[in-house]
Amino acid sequence: MGPRIPRHETRAPGGKVDLIYVLHDLKTLQVDPGTVIDVIISGHSHVPKIDAVGGVLHLNPGSAGPRRFKLPMTLATLEVTPEGMRPEIHDLGGD
């Protein structure tokens, strides 16, 4: 078994603490009330998406592996700067 990856991790770019929560299926998200989350990254649907819900950035990178259904092959990057978050979906082609 490989190294365990934490379910979420807190980083502090520019002195601000951003909570980035990573999970497989967004439907399984369980956090304590009052928890401040800045970004939720999930991927179960394989549908690439950048959205904001209630002030929280939701990011689904899609799928960079073998084509699933008729969805594009994509990955996402999230640049965290003192000015804020910059998510981007990258289309890998693969047609």
Domain ranges of the chain: 8-91
Is the overall model pTM greater than 0.85, yes or no? no
As to burial, measured by CB atoms within 10 angstroms (0-12 exposed, 13-18 middle, 19+ buried), residue 61 is buried
| CATH architecture classification, 8-91 | 4-Layer Sandwich (3.60)
Bridge-based pairing of strands 18-22 and 39-41 is: parallel
pLDDT (average), residues 17-38: 75
User: Higher model confidence: residue 59 or residue 6?
Assistant: 59
User: Half-sphere exposure of 28 toward its Cβ, with a 13 Å CA cutoff?
Assistant: 11
* Closest to 50 (Cα-Cα) out of 90, 87, 8, 78: 87
Residues with Cβ within 8 Å of residue 32, at least 6 apart in sequence: none
